[in-house]
Structure 1
């Protein structure tokens, strides 16, 4: 019996490559690393159509488009296929699940490029923002030497809001998860792996390139695909790969730093109110309530980021962020109203 390709598990990864006739940067753009985040595929396929119709032409360098990085999750319309592709992202000689097999193809592809733009969206309403990597450093967690180039790109993608501090905050969350007796066995197993916090951009930085995650808006926001599309064009213009004016750098950046991640321990853990990303929370204010009645309070004035009321137990429930004093491409965070 012949299987139906529309319903059978995907067995391939679709990529589209364009080569300029002059040497230049190698940019790769990903969509649907999480299958329920459709703004990336829509933005990428819009540009691909323009390139195929020769409405736009690459001037130099290499452009690789991967509209759907996680075909199984995308087919199901869910965040994950068998696990989160954007965690524990690496090549493995013993693939255990669909995402391992995707990473075995996608990771070497990333390593052959200089720059990554990874398009995402999020659960609750909110404005777009960019996730920025670390400053130049030689630490063991995420050594990096291209912060200046990454910051310059971030200032030109469009959104005013920038969030940094992902991997070290996640590492602290892993340590907390390991101490939590309520964490699921699966979560504990994953947390023992030092690579678990590594996603596409972290992998890119660890292999000589740089990359940013652009959160284009809420999953269902009709403007999110436009945000992604304009960001791709801005990246191509900034890298001088398309015949477009250089994108103007934003001078009104709002730069926040993640400082803490809190897991959901039980299906009955609930938020104190319907939080949206970047809602302000005051010191001592209730953020959520555990299944046993314990109130989770903010230890300081902060912002809520990535609140997920449907998080699975043992996974990230929400992040806290504070105003960062880090300048990005020479610009410090604007004064935020109280």
Structure 2
């Protein structure tokens, strides 16, 4: 396999059997007991399949909540069904990024993704707790994106994995689902997390997705340990750390040239270190011990795309 197309280490589930639900590819289960509405969403991007493996497995298992309501969703299902292993990165989306549409859902839905977001939206609005299952273009350690608020970091700590919690405000290109509505309101108890499980098609990304989903469902009280497969939950890390994102570096015209190959969560010791040049303008670290969060500088970029987020340990 070329570096451009990493190996696919697990089988993709056939999801067409889950089309019929409360809405297409969205399933709602009521316990009849008082409790929160808990939502687990997969395929916000169509080629991020580890989450789909997990939600498919929960549906196959017939998982039902002990209290409250459980919502299981496959978000950008059309993009998933467009997957071609010869061009595996193309199926991230059809027309646009589903996870940048949430700030403009009051506008006419003119793309596959905005139409689908309108279908998913009432379920997201109903949820008290949301876990959005993602994965990464490049190999990297798993990251829990907790959003900009204290409540997101607190929930990530309760879930207890992975090691790295990222406190971040999202993307200039548009609002994410995890920041939508009450999730982005510091005064609301509603809360959301976004897990980046690792490289899209690594078997290890499925292991991470299973672990974090099990932890999330247990923490929210939706299920009890016996309800879940016994091998999903992994040993807890000795401790977690929080990285607060202070800068999101976007390429103006897609002409960013990286100074070298960077790894995710790499710590750059000295302020002023050159990370690369964007249209010949140097991009440097703003402070000592700067953490590089999910660098995408190692691949071709479109104008406006975030090259890297810079953060500090807090």
Cα deviations by residue, 1:291-315 (Å, 9 ceiling, x for unpaired): 4x43322222301112112331122
In the alignment, which residue of structure 2 is the partner of 1:121?
Answer: 135
- Please say if 1:73 is aligned against 2:87: no
Q: How far did residue 49 of structure 1 move?
A: 1.2
Contact kept in structure 2, 1:28 and 1:65, CA below 8 Å:
yes
Q: Find the residue that maps to 2:98 and give its secondary structure.
A: coil
Unaligned segments of structure 1, at least 5 residues: 1-5, 137-146, 175-195, 325-338
Cα deviations by residue, 1:114-141 (Å, 9 ceiling, x for unpaired): 11000111122221121113336xxxxx
Q: Find the residue that maps to 1:103 and give its secondary structure.
A: helix
Following TM superposition, where does structure 1 have runs of at least 4 consecutive aligned residues deviating by more than 4 angstroms?
247-251
Q: Measured at CA, do residues 154 and 14 of structure 1 come closer, stay the same or move farther in structure 2, by a change above 3 Å?
A: farther
Q: State how far apart, in whole Å, the 2-side matches of 1:305 and 1:33 are.
A: 20
Number of positions where the alignment pairs a residue of Structure 1 with one of Structure 2:
272
In the alignment, which residue of structure 2 is the partner of 1:59?
Answer: 66
- Please say if 1:285 is aligned against 2:273: yes
Q: How far did residue 227 of structure 1 move?
A: 1.1
Q: Describe how 1:16-165 pairs up with structure 2 within 5 A.
A: 16-51=27-62, 56-66=63-73, 68-77=74-83, 78-89=91-102, 90-135=104-149, 147=151, 151-165=154-168
Q: Pairwise CA RMSD of aligned residues?
A: 2.7
Contact kept in structure 2, 1:156 and 1:249, CA below 8 Å:
no
Q: State how far apart, in whole Å, the 2-side matches of 1:310 and 1:76 are.
A: 22
Cα deviations by residue, 1:265-299 (Å, 9 ceiling, x for unpaired): 334422122212111223222212334x4332222
Q: State how far apart, in whole Å, the 2-side matches of 1:72 and 1:287 are.
A: 37
Q: Find the residue that maps to 2:301 and give its secondary structure.
A: coil
Greater C-alpha radius of gyration: 1
Q: State how far apart, in whole Å, the 2-side matches of 1:299 and 1:73 are.
A: 38
Q: Find the residue that maps to 2:213 and give its secondary structure.
A: helix
- Please say if 1:211 is aligned against 2:192: yes
Unaligned segments of structure 2, at least 5 residues: 1-14, 84-90, 227-232
Q: Measured at CA, do residues 72 and 284 of structure 1 come closer, stay the same or move farther in structure 2, by a change above 3 Å?
A: same
Q: 1:234 aligns with which of 215, 224, 232?
A: 215
Q: Measured at CA, do residues 88 and 58 of structure 1 come closer, stay the same or move farther in structure 2, by a change above 3 Å?
A: closer
